[in-house]
Structure 1
Amino acid sequence: MIYIYHDFGGTHTTSLAAAYHLNILSESNQIPSREEILAVPNFNKLQKKDAGRFIFHGKDQEGNRVYTLGRRSSKITVKTLFHFCETLINNNQLNEKIILSNTSPVVPLAMTLGGFFSRGLGIDAIGVPLLIQGAQKCCGNIIQLVNETKNIAKESNLLIVKIDNQEYQA
């Protein structure tokens, strides 16, 4: 199975989701510290040029590969990816389940602003504290999203599963 967590930039909530999925961050009720958040691979490190690139984060305990994807403002990226995978499956070139999970619904305003200042304008002095605040605020929702993504993946008989996660309130 292949998990792909995606959102606008692919460097904040997606990196956190991958870190929780891979047990890099603990799912305990403890809110991660600034240091723990900044140590998450690729957190606040990707740039616009990385958009559309799959970032491999590792294999989970069951051997499933975990990736992240920054899709930027394109509304058709995930739809195109879904249809491409569908084409590969129909041509017997892909027989592995693909899980596409949108992390955008868990992004709080502080993280949006922090990403804009840090990644967009290069002003880390303003952006990073906002990103930390946002990450700490939404960590519970990210953990829930990851766990629900894993459950949906296990329960589904489909080879391509697109999870919009619209029920989350950032």
Structure 2
Amino acid sequence: MKVIYNCYGSAHSSVLAAGIHVGLLPEDRVPTFGEITALPHYDQTETEEIGTIYYFGEDELGSQVYILGMKSSPKVVKRAIFSMLEEFDIDRTELVLVDSLPYVNNMTRIGGFLSRGLGLVKIGRPLTVYGLQKSYSRFVNLVQGVKKRLGYIY
């Protein structure tokens, strides 16, 4: 099974969700600033990289986890992915697309814009982390829901 966590730019919410999914972040407590910023790709994706699928790791049952930024066109990107699977005769049930953007609060949005959009990393990155910490339980619930959907026991 392949799981792709997607968001606007594959720099914050998809990275956080993927980090929880593969066990790089805890499910039983809010991670520290350092734990979040140490995640691969965290607050690093450049605008020209949006739309690139990045392998993030493997979970405890062997599902491969990826991240993907879809900018403002998630419907178009999803349609392209699923039509490509169909064209190459790949079973679409082997792929789970998970939108992590709805779990982001305004603090993370503002921080992401400042950091990735304006290049004000020193101001924006701490705001993204703070925002994600404040909504962390929602991300844990998201990941647990995905794992339940995949047939994991929860």
**TM-score calculated relative to the size of structure 1:** 0.83
1:24 aligns with 2:15: no
Contact 2:2 2:64 in 1 (8 A): yes
- Please, which runs of 5 or more residues in structure 1 have no aligned partner? 156-170
Contact 1:106 1:138 in 2 (8 A): yes
Contact 2:85 2:92 in 1 (8 A): no
Q: Shift of the alpha carbon at 1:147? A: 0.8
Contact 1:2 1:97 in 2 (8 A): yes
Contact 1:5 1:18 in 2 (8 A): yes
- Please, which runs of 5 or more residues in structure 2 have no aligned partner? none
Q: Which has the higher helix share?
A: 2
Letter in 2 for 1:119: R
Q: Shift of the alpha carbon at 1:153? A: 2.7
1:58 aligns with 2:57: yes
Q: What CA distance in whole angstroms lies between the structure 1 residues aligned with 2:132 and 2:22?
A: 17
**TM-score calculated relative to the size of structure 2:** 0.91
Percent identical: 33
4+ residue runs over 4 A deviation: 93-96
Q: What CA distance in whole angstroms lies between the structure 1 residues aligned with 2:54 and 2:138?
A: 22
User: What does residue 99 of structure 1 align with?
Assistant: 96
Contact 2:53 2:68 in 1 (8 A): yes
1:4 aligns with 2:1: no
Equivalent position to 1:110, from 99, 107, 115: 107
Residues matched between the structures, number? 151
